[in-house]
Amino acid sequence: MTSFIEVQNAEMVFTTRKGRFHALREINLQIERGEFITLIGHSGCGKSTLLNLIAGLLTPSSGVLLCDNREIAAPGPERAVVFQNHSLLPWLTCYENVHLGVERVFGASESKEQLKERTQAALALVGMSHAIAKRPHEISGGMKQRVGIARALAMEPKVLLMDEPFGALDALTRAHLQDELLKIVARTRSTVVMVTHDVDEAVLLSDRVVMMTNGPAATIGEILTVDLARPRLRVELAEDPAYVHYRKEVLDFLYTRHGHVEREAA
């Protein structure tokens, strides 16, 4: 039986002005429904490339990707993407930004009232009901990111793909949104694949941490299963020996076994 998401022998070779660049090699990954997966690795190793392959924004040079037994050949509403820098349309209100996605997915099958309810419910889920009439420039970075998450969730995607969604935020806002995301995902039971640079974020959120080797021709080095009970509370976890152990495993992989090439050369 195949898993919910299957990446089978995926290779990614980019054609650049300087020639061919082999970004990813032999990527094999199985993700089950409802799993929270993070992709971690040094800058430039190919995390976003792998996420974009799953999103259908890129096509692999060879290999196959499947979602729910169908080949991923293009982007689709069942795989919503949240980027690091929110991608809200600046001339639309928060409500309109979310409604746009809702209309695209459910516009043909549901009434205007139902679309409105979906939009309002998604904004309520991320605690943004108070700002529905505001435009992106009138709200903070953390709030914009929440609206971006609301837009993605409102489309009821089977998979939520997130590329460093909290990377541009200050530490406190980031921690707050991580906690919110944990609660939302517990409610929606979404399957999530998230790119991160942050070891604590990876361990706190994930069922499995996919650790990538350095590029070029990067691949999956190791996969760490994080067997910590949910709900997870960051303050309690900080001193939990199991959490400390998982964190060290990821740090060892990144800085001992696969230290960044630039540092090694130095």
Ligand X SMILES: Nc1ncnc2c1ncn2[C@@H]1O[C@H](COP(=O)(O)OP(=O)(O)OP(=O)(O)O)[C@@H](O)[C@H]1O
Least distance from C-beta 24 to ligand X, angstroms?
8
Do the beta carbons of residue 75 and residue 56 sit within 8 Å?
Answer: yes
Least distance from C-beta 146 to ligand X, angstroms?
22
**Across the chain, how many H-helices and E-strands are there?**
9, 10
Given candidates 13, 30, 44, 221, which one binds ligand X under the rule CB under 6 A?
Answer: 44
Which of the residues 139 through 178 are near ligand X (CB under 6 A)? none
Do the beta carbons of residue 181 and residue 227 sit within 8 Å?
Answer: no
Examine residue 254 and tell whether it contacts ligand X (CB under 6 A): no
Instruction: Provide the angle, in degrees to the nearest 10, between the axes of the packed helices 94-106 and 141-154.
Output: 20
Given candidates 7, 27, 46, 94, which one binds ligand X under the rule CB under 6 A?
Answer: 46
Site string for ligand X, 3-42 (x = CB under 6 A): -----------x-x----x-x-----------------x-
User: Which residues, including other chains, have CB under 8 Å from residue 63's CB and lie 6 or more apart?
Assistant: 7, 8, 9, 10, 11, 27
Q: 151: exposed, middle or buried (C-beta count within 10 Å: 0-12, 13-18, 19+)?
A: buried
Least distance from C-beta 104 to ligand X, angstroms?
26
Do the beta carbons of residue 160 and residue 190 sit within 8 Å?
Answer: yes
Least distance from C-beta 173 to ligand X, angstroms?
20
Examine residue 214 and tell whether it contacts ligand X (CB under 6 A): no
Residues that bind ligand X (CB under 6 A): 14, 16, 21, 23, 41, 43-49, 215
